[in-house]
Amino acid sequence: DADVTQTPRNRITKTGKRIMLECSQTKGHDRMYWYRQDPGLGLRLIYYSFDVKDINKGEISDGYSVSRQAQAKFSLSLESAIPNQTALYFCATSEGQLNTEAFFGQGTRLTVV
Amino acid sequence: ILNVEQSPQSLHVQEGDSTNFTCSFPSSNFYALHWYRWETAKSPEALFVMTLNGDEKKKGRISATLNTKEGYSYLYIKGSQPEDSATYLCAPWQAGNNRKLIWGLGTSLAVNP
């Protein structure tokens, strides 16, 4: 089983719908991140959390919200999906130290029509 | 916002060729530099995390060097193989960026058999 699991892996939704992407990890890491990847733009940070009580906005948080339900779970919500939120979304985790690597989930491909 | 540049943007080499890429970043307030390998349809996986000026790290045929004073890192692949085809991402971690990585756009490597 993957250490960082994202569900769903693929999703097509309609404009205006609410959708939640879920991420769970078994690595015991405190830090969790949500990124989106668009062609030509690289990985952009949406939200990040350094523990259950610490939630921070990233570069592109508008239109998104998150919930850190437990150390192991970090969910990303699109309250009212729009077509320009069509992208590949990645969840990642890391330990607390700056010199430790990030571990990524398999990605969720979201299409908003 | 930290400016991370990777060059070249893409690269095609023949099997057996050796190659290298560059990651450039501002040298001030440096903490760590991450390199990741991202294969198509998979998620990014860490190659190296480097922290000290002059650091050299090696994993099989892949190695990396770090110059924090001038703000660059090189990634080398010796004797490229088709399975090395991937996008190679670098991400520095520096003070003033609210405790998060800033990702380059990557170098896309294609190794022709």
Instruction: Annotate A65-85 with DSSP letters as a single string.
Output: EEEEEETTEEEEEESS--GGG
Residue the block writes with tokens 């080499």: B13
Angle at A83 between CA B39 and CA B108, to 5 degrees: 20
Which residues have a Cβ under 8 Å from the Cβ of B38 and sit 6 or more positions away? B44, B45, B86, B87, B88, B89, B106
CB B77 within 8 A of CB B84: yes
Give the pLDDT band of residue B91 (cuts 50, 70, 90): very high
Q: Of chain A residues 47-86, which have a CB less than 8 A from chain B?
A: 48, 50, 56, 58
Reduced to 3 states (helix: H, G, I; strand: E, B; else coil), residue B53 is: coil
pLDDT of residue B109: 97
Q: What share of chain A is helix, strand, coil (3-state, %, to 5)?
A: 5, 60, 40
pLDDT in tens, B2-57: 589 999 999 999 999 999 999 999 888 788 999 999 998 899 999 999 999 999 99
Q: How big is the CA angle at A106 (ends A103 and A110), to the nearest 5 degrees? A: 125
Residue B82 DSSP SS3: helix
> A99, B99: Cβ pair inside 8 Å?
no
Beta bridge partners of residue A75, listed in sequence order? A67
Element (H, E) at A24: strand A19-25
Residues B12/B110, Cβ–Cβ less than 8 Å: yes
Predicted pLDDT at B79 = 97
A58: distance to nearest CA of chain B, Å? 9
Partners of residue A58 in chain B, C-beta under 8 Å: 100
Closest-CA residue to A35 (of A107, A98, A111): A107
**Nearest chain A Cα to B52, which residue?**
A99
Per-residue tens of pLDDT for chain A, all 113 residues: 679 999 999 999 999 999 999 999 999 999 999 999 998 888 999 999 988 999 999 989 999 999 999 999 999 999 999 999 999 999 999 987 667 899 999 999 999 99
Cα B102 to chain centroid distance, Å, stands at 13
**Identity of the residue numbered A37:** Q
Cβ separation B43–A33 shorter than 8 A:
no
- Single-letter residue type at B18: S
Distance CA A93, CA A67 (A): 15
